[in-house]
Amino acid sequence: MPDRATSPSVLVTAAFLAPEAVAILEAAGYAVPCTSGYPSEAELLAAIAEHRPVAILHRQGIINGTVMDAALPALRVVARHGAGVDGIDLPAAEARGLTVTRAAGANSRSVAEHAMALMLSLLKDLPSVAAGMHDGLWEKTSRMTRDVDGTALGIVGYGAIGSKVARLADAFGMRVAAYDPLLSPGPLPGPGERVADLPSLLARSEVLSLHCPLDATTRGMIGAAELAMLPKGAILVHTARGGIVDETALLAALESGHLAWAGVDVFAKEPLDAASPLRTHARVLPTPHLAANTPHGAVGMSTGAAESIVAVLSGRLPALEGAIVVRGGLRIAA
């Protein structure tokens, strides 16, 4: 194990990193200190002052220009533990000549499975059926749930995760359609019908599942107007990134009865406030941003991030699906 006092360090912005990833970094000669679970800017600055990292393996917190400046000139790479890079200020990294990577495909199967679990649970009204059982009800003849077969599923974002959701849903007999302006023109590279614009997708989606990144074009993309375009009784499944959905508008759509259910794994502020109505609303099935937390998904994200750090610091570009490289004013999406 490298000596923390003398070895260059890779700072993990979380309280824990998978042992497989730690082993990769330590084998390459790096010490691997961790922060608290959700480090504040002050905590990050203190950790940087103590460890002077050559790389940051980013799981929680915000890596902004102030944090980057504190780590310079030693810092060379920021590697995201996962697909979303919204917690990293990419323009700031670009301006400072840093390399930013993400492990885009590592957790795609895990997140797709979680989206399907939410979808199936809500199509079958399982939260309220279970609540009735807990209260002593026996709704054998008084309740009808929905058929999954034939239900219209709309997918926003047909990348590594969205395309897997499409394949799983297709196996259940769902009628899949998708909107993704980032895809090359032509048919979808998997099951489903391609839809040209978001309003057209919304109008036909009995279930809407979100799988797009959070950026300037998608922040607040699903608001009151968009939710109103969904058919009455629709279900929203959100496993992408908090901030894409206007949470106030979502609660209003649920209260009005326009939406039947929402299955939500990601939130605009995380951890979600203890008093948030999204925790306790009778028509919300909330989970704490754990869709990727399976043995395969978690280890894949950790080792993918670790391998990209070693590759960048050794002078090789990271060979990762969906990697972003920001270096010297050049951005490459691989």
User: 270 catalytic, yes or no?
Assistant: yes
Positive or negative, the CA dihedral 100, 91, 40, 45 is positive
Positive or negative, the CA dihedral 283, 276, 292, 166 is positive
Return d(Cα 208, Cα 206) in angstroms, integer. 7
* Residue 6 CB contacts under 8 Å (≥ 6 apart), including other chains: none
Return d(Cα 198, Cα 222) in angstroms, integer. 10
- DSSP string over 144-206: ----STT-EEEEE--SHHHHHHHHHHHHTT-EEEEE-TTSPSSS-SSSSEE-SSHHHHHHH-S
User: 113 catalytic, yes or no?
Assistant: no
User: Of residues 143, 270, 279, 296, which has the active-site annotation?
Assistant: 270
Long-range CB pairs of 69-73 (<8 Å, 24+ gap) are 69/96, 70/44, 70/45, 72/96
State CA 8 to chain mean position distance. Answer: 30
In the numeric block, which tokens belong to residue 75? Answer: 């810092």
User: 238 catalytic, yes or no?
Assistant: no
User: Of residues 283, 289, 321, 327, which has the active-site annotation?
Assistant: 289
Please check whether residue 101 is in contact with residue 324, taking contact to mean a CB–CB distance below 8 angstroms. yes
User: Of residues 59, 238, 241, 247, which has the active-site annotation?
Assistant: 241
* CA dist 260 → 6, 111, 119, 130, 281 (Å): 57, 22, 12, 16, 12
Q: Which residues of 133-147 are buried (b: 16+ CB within 10 A; e: fewer)?
A: eeeeeeeeeeeeebe
Please check whether residue 111 is in contact with residue 263, taking contact to mean a CB–CB distance below 8 angstroms. no
What SS3 state is found at 25? helix
Query: Which H helix or E strand runs over 56?
Result: strand 55-58
Residues identified as active-site: 241, 270, 289
